[in-house]
Structure 1
Amino acid sequence: MHQFFSLQIRVKPSKLLSAFSLGVMGVLSGCQIVKPEPSAQLNIQAQFSQPAQYGLDAKKWETEDWKIAVPSDQLPRGEWWQIFQDTQLNQLVEQLNRENASIAQYEAQYRQATALLNQATASTKPTVTGNTNVTRAKSGESATTANYNMGLNASWEPDFWGKVRQNIWVNQDKAQASEAELNSIRLSMQAQLTTSYLQWVILGFQLQSQQESLKNLQKFLQLTHNQYQAGIVASTTVDQAQSQYQTALANYTEMQLAQIQLQHAIAMLIGQPQDQLQLILPKTLPVLPQIPVNLPSSILQRRPDVAAAERTMAAANAQVGVAKLAVFPDFSLGGNLGYKSSKLSNLFSAPNFIWSVGPTLAATLFDGGLRHAQTEQAKASYDASAAVYKQTVMSAIQNVEDNIAAQYLLSKEVAQEQQSLAAATRAEQSTTNQYKAGIVGYLNVLTAQNNRLSAQNNVWSLTSKQYQTTVNLISAMGGSF
């Protein structure tokens, strides 16, 4: 079963005008036929991949620690970050929505596109202007004369060919594309903030865990030092314990730097000076949501970047119609009425009332192939935007598939690494006891400590990846599911 992503071109056909109709404007009606460009179509599967495609048994997978779960119905689906159930994160995202500079920039661009659409729509209505002037003139020996004028001018371009409507469709599609781009940048900024915050929290808990390790290593360093003073071990054992402690301390400092940089990134995203942002480490890790596996591929239609690419393609297609219609003459109706007199006192008298009305027809008889070249340019622009649209959809599919696979497989990897950490912790404790009893040398203890520290850091790193993958998957689905 497949689903087609396609664009229905909104270039409306109408009756073909005859040569006689071109000369008799009074009986004209309808629009010139503008053949639409071929619709861009993309054939994709109706469903995304299932766990079995990644070597996982679905039934077994559902009964293990990593279970399929949908966020609670009471949570707002548009505010997807609330699924992590972290109050501080919710407050940060709210501030980002208000203060982020990139969002403000795209919001202004959307208002600009909307204003351009309003300008195009205004072309369907008559234009009325008012004028008044006074002139004094003298020629040679003649007396000075004065002229007083006051009147109204009106003009209107009947949309016989559909030029105005076609231009409105172009600007309407551009406005919709701009709105989609605004939603896209908003989603991107929300995802960046959520990812940075979750990584900041993970590092906070990892630093707490590292502090416990540093305390144990410091105690062991003191033990080896006491043994050296008692003549039980050589100085090299103390040096090895000192090196192990200093290496762990350096890693702790590196994690502190990474956490500070994440906090600075969060402050930048919410539009707040870095020195004014104070984050509080929560008592527990945020909830790690799990995305359902039965995701329809139609969910990609909610992605704002896909919507922006599709609307941009629609605007380019409509622009082809604008270029094709440019070959037809411009027809307008204009007129004016007012008063004109050489004396201000009798300006508004009946004999001084003037008026005029009449049509205007203007056409380009020869342009050296300019219109044809402009049409070909518009067609090429449409082909390019259609290719971008297809590529955007394919990239969206890859993005979702990558994160679905990562969500499933990371859960297994975390469980495996946790088992490795538990075994490494037991081995370290056992080796430490054996060392204190004089059964094994310090090299065994050193190896056991390194294994435990490595497994511990791997668990935290994989946990951070799980949160990041969840954010990426939600973002890949357009911010809701």
Structure 2
Amino acid sequence: MFRRGSHRAVVGAVAVAVLSACSMAPPYVRPDASVPDVFKELPRHSGESPSAAERSTTEAWKTAEPAEDTFRGEWWRVFNDSTLDGLEKQAAQANQSLKAAAARVQQARALVQSARSNWFPSIGAGFGPTRQHMSPASQFLPDNTEVPDQTLWRAQVSASYEPDLFGRVSDNVSASRSDEAQSEALFRSVQLALQADVAQNYFQLREFDAQLGLYRKTVALREDALKLVESRFNAGEIGELDVSRARSELATARADAVGVARQRAASEHSLSILLGKPPADFTFPETPLVPVQAHIPAGLPSSLLERRPDIAAAERAMASANARVGLAKSAFFPQLDVTGAFGYESATLGDLFQWSTRAFLLGPFAGTALTLPIFDGGRRSANLAKARAKLDEDVAQYRQQVLVAFKEVEDSLSNLRLLDDQISEQGFAMSASERAEQLSATQYEEGQVSYLDVIDAQRQVLQSELRSIHLASEQAVSTVALIRALGGGWAESQAQIGSEGESQKKTVERR
């Protein structure tokens, strides 16, 4: 049978264990978000219903489950462009914003380890002398008694431990783990944004290259036209007005070419920064843009909640805020600190480690082991209100992020759908403007129209060609934007996060 003291100790230990398993955090439930059945701007065949169009892409509705650990894959390979592949590889290795995001992940992991350390006791050792003067009253001596100073040598091992009452430690660990998961999702968001920025900047740079090639061709044509006009002027067939107009058009084409070169230089500098290089160390060879065709399956709207890393980050922020509500609640309940020390103390160093000099202390050095807050002027209530308000804020931000994600997908889908129609109509416009230029040149040589009509026709051809180049660039940029809005590529693997150099090969583990 247990003695009375042993029985009470067992009961106390069981009570501490029960309270340690009790978390004050409310049950975490992912809030509902408004999710449509299908994307509104999804391209459909004539006469096909939205549901039928969506079934042609995927089979049926599925409940959204977070999948922020899904590797987004090298989605840019859909463009089959080896130059773009190389640029993406350089950006992944050297971009400083990506390295900063990876470092933030490492910080979050360290904070998780710090929070988990509170589950274990802290043990330390100390050695050294203390010099003290005791008052006569503390020794129950008359006031005028001379109490000599004394030196005490101590060598001891101390330990302290706070049981996880009311989930004070476990809720903090849970919040830290959610913060870590949020940091990892934000890393993937930065990574996806970087990949998309590199691709979009690359296509825009190639657009400028195509424009430069067009302006060179235009300048050459303007120079030939000026020679023709000057020869006719010298022959007395036309007046000086046509010569002045031809020279004006040539100078304008040259000035526009310089303007495009200026824009190209700024775009090249921006790309170099994305690659982690100073602009002086990066030169992109002139590569005119050619139209790209890449058809991206949009999938179900519900899958967007699984794939978008920014949505995953917002969801993890809610989980962290929910755990911190429990942490704020635990402040209203008792806190138990178990401390102790064992060692030796002696007035002389030579006698320190004798058996008779052993000493121990069980309990806090000051105060009491079990503390219960009674009055703090409303500080704990304010902290709890703040934690609940932060949870409400994160819920609203999560739902807003979901809405923004759907908007970005719809924008990209509508851009691509309407760009197809616009490019088709622009092809007709270009053919018509080229025909008008041919007719006006022939009629001018025959003296049927003025040179102003020729200039106007040439301007129309130039503008049509510039618009065609811009639309081709917009199509490529919008395709990248759709991939980014959908959350990246489709390959299944594990993502990798690191801080510097080889550490970028560390695998992210789901916690």
1:105 — aligned with what? 100
Distance 2:47 2:487 in 1: 25
Distance 1:43 1:137, change over 3 A: closer
1:331 — aligned with what? 336
Q: Is the 8 A contact 1:323 1:375 kept in 2?
A: yes
Are residues 1:40 and 2:31 paired? yes
Report deviation, 1:455: 0.7
| Aligned residue pair count | 442
Distance 1:102 1:286, change over 3 A: farther
The higher relative CO (CA closer than 8 Å, separation ≥ 6) is in 2
Distance 2:419 2:473 in 1: 10
Larger mean CA deviation between 361-370 and 319-328 belongs to: 361-370
Calculate the TM-score normalised by the size of structure 1: 0.86
User: Which residue of 443, 454, 457 maps to 2:466?
Assistant: 457
- Post-superposition Cα deviations, 1:247-288, rounded to whole Å, max 9, x if no partner, equal 222221111111111001111222212121121234773744
Distance 1:468 1:195 in 2: 5
User: Which residue of 486, 489, 493 maps to 1:477?
Assistant: 486
Distance 1:38 1:143, change over 3 A: closer
Q: Secondary structure at the match of 1:367?
A: coil
1:398 — aligned with what? 407
Q: RMSD value over aligned CA atoms? A: 2.4
1:222 — aligned with what? 227
Q: Secondary structure at the match of 2:351?
A: coil
Distance 2:126 2:280 in 1: 59
- Post-superposition Cα deviations, 1:95-148, rounded to whole Å, max 9, x if no partner, equal 222222222222222211211111001000110011111235678977774422
1:72 — aligned with what? none
Q: Is the 8 A contact 1:420 1:455 kept in 2?
A: yes
Are residues 1:374 and 2:383 paired? yes
- Post-superposition Cα deviations, 1:338-387, rounded to whole Å, max 9, x if no partner, equal 11122323322222122233481011111222211211111111111111
- Post-superposition Cα deviations, 1:397-429, rounded to whole Å, max 9, x if no partner, equal 000001011111101211210221122112212
User: Which residue of 437, 441, 444 maps to 2:453?
Assistant: 444
User: Which residue of 18, 31, 39 maps to 2:22?
Assistant: 31
Structure 1, unpaired ranges of 5+: 1-20, 60-67, 69-75
2:433 — aligned with what? 424
Distance 1:357 1:375, change over 3 A: same
Q: Is the 8 A contact 1:85 1:287 kept in 2?
A: no
1:192 — aligned with what? 197
Q: Secondary structure at the match of 1:231?
A: coil
1:346 — aligned with what? 351
Are residues 1:115 and 2:104 paired? no
Q: Is the 8 A contact 2:35 2:301 kept in 1?
A: no
Larger mean CA deviation between 461-470 and 424-433 belongs to: 424-433
2:500 — aligned with what? none
1:57 — aligned with what? 46
Report deviation, 1:36: 4.0
Distance 1:106 1:356 in 2: 47
Distance 1:432 1:408 in 2: 37
Identity %: 33
Residue type of the alignment partner of 2:246: A
Q: Is the 8 A contact 1:113 1:178 kept in 2?
A: yes
- Post-superposition Cα deviations, 1:145-193, rounded to whole Å, max 9, x if no partner, equal 4422101001111113111000111111111111111221222222222
Report deviation, 1:93: 1.9
Report deviation, 1:433: 1.7
Q: Secondary structure at the match of 1:339?
A: strand
Calculate the TM-score normalised by the size of structure 2: 0.81
